[in-house]
Structure 1
Amino acid sequence: MTHTRRRPFGSRVLVPSAVLFVLTAAGCSAGPSVTVPTPSSEAAGYCEKLHEELPETVVGLERSDPSPDSDLTAGWGDGAIVLRCGVPRPAKMDTSREGVDADGVNWLLEQPDDAGPRFTTTYRKAYVEVTLGTEYAHDITPLSAFAEPVRKTVPESL
């Protein structure tokens, strides 16, 4: 024999509301998980300033920062574009001449086999890395959105 227990009207509203809250919170969660860099305190200071200047949209993609939450990382389009500030100097920087200039900021280009392009600033006191999704394999347009914030907050070095 099955027993049905009736709940007062208020408790029936609470359960669906709680479920809706959890689903809404999950939908608003941060983008993908990324490794947070561990820069020197000087570089971290530049990165914190850069974080404050980053745009809310890049090539029409809304900002959706990755987890864990950090002033050293930012993202747009749920992982289509990911920025990490304070990354180590790439080893390839010493041997490669592959680079691009995007609105006055120089970037080293690396093309991993299994992902979209990765760009790292050159000649700056903190290295800023931008990883683009495969849909940007032949497009540096997103880098233009970072040129002014990088120039404004991360000084050049020689």
Structure 2
Amino acid sequence: MTVRRPVSSRMRGVVASALAVLTLVLAGCSGAVEVDSPDVDARTRAACARFLDQVPEKVGDQARRKTEPASAPAAAWGDPPIVVTCGVGMPDDFDAFSRCQEVNGVGWYIPEEASTDQGSDVQMTTIGYRPTVRIDLPAEYRPPADVLVEISDVVKGTLVRTRRCF
């Protein structure tokens, strides 16, 4: 015969609190990343789908996460998230005189101030590929070399080159 001792209300409270904290922690790590969804035509959406089908499960040693809305032409990894969005426009500050940095044969526009301030978040946008791809990289993952190499390989292998880096 087994004798059960009654569980105190204090112990129930401790267990309930621990479960609540664990639930919040797990939800924070596994929740979907909210992304902007550019308005793209059917041709761009198809090209972006081919691109996103080829992005790796890990980028910069960070595991892939779900995105919201799920239909957005985007992918995300890690916490804080590295976000890649396909079908975007060029940044407002990009012009004919903007510097192009080439990584594995893919041209990238990286704003000048982001190149000098390694402690800031950065947006990096492809130059000369259609559709255009943007990487939003939190400062925690700087410098961006590994991420640029991994994504450049997929850009080069799946998207249409329209011009060389200038």
| TM-score, normalisation: structure 1 | 0.74
- Quote the residue 1:136 is aligned against: 141
Q: Which amino acid aligns with 2:139?
A: T
- Quote the residue 1:35 is aligned against: 36
Distance 1:155 1:120 in 2: 15
- Quote the residue 1:108 is aligned against: 109
Cα deviation for residue 41 of structure 1 reads 2.2
Q: Which amino acid aligns with 2:31?
A: S
- Quote the residue 1:122 is aligned against: 127
Aligned residues: 138
Is the 2:35–2:72 contact (alpha carbons within 8 Å) kept by the matching residues of 1?
A: no
Which consecutive residues of structure 2, in runs of 5 or more, have no partner in the other structure? Answer: 1-15
Cα deviation for residue 30 of structure 1 reads 1.5
- Quote the residue 2:156 is aligned against: 151
- Quote the residue 1:46 is aligned against: 47
Identity %: 26
Is the 2:137–2:144 contact (alpha carbons within 8 Å) kept by the matching residues of 1?
A: no
Q: Which amino acid aligns with 1:146?
A: I
Distance 2:142 2:62 in 1: 17
3-state DSSP of counterpart to 2:157: helix
Distance 1:53 1:80 in 2: 19
Distance 1:88 1:56, change over 3 A: same
Q: Deviations over 1:25-46 (max 9, x none)?
A: 8353213x12111123222111
Cα deviation for residue 115 of structure 1 reads 4.9
Is the 1:48–1:71 contact (alpha carbons within 8 Å) kept by the matching residues of 2?
A: no
- Quote the residue 2:63 is aligned against: 62
Q: Deviations over 1:100-149 (max 9, x none)?
A: 111111111133x9951110101111110001011234433211111121
- Quote the residue 2:6 is aligned against: none
Across the aligned residues of Structure 1 and Structure 2, the Cα RMSD in angstroms comes to 2.7
Is the 1:39–1:88 contact (alpha carbons within 8 Å) kept by the matching residues of 2?
A: no
Is the 1:109–1:118 contact (alpha carbons within 8 Å) kept by the matching residues of 2?
A: yes
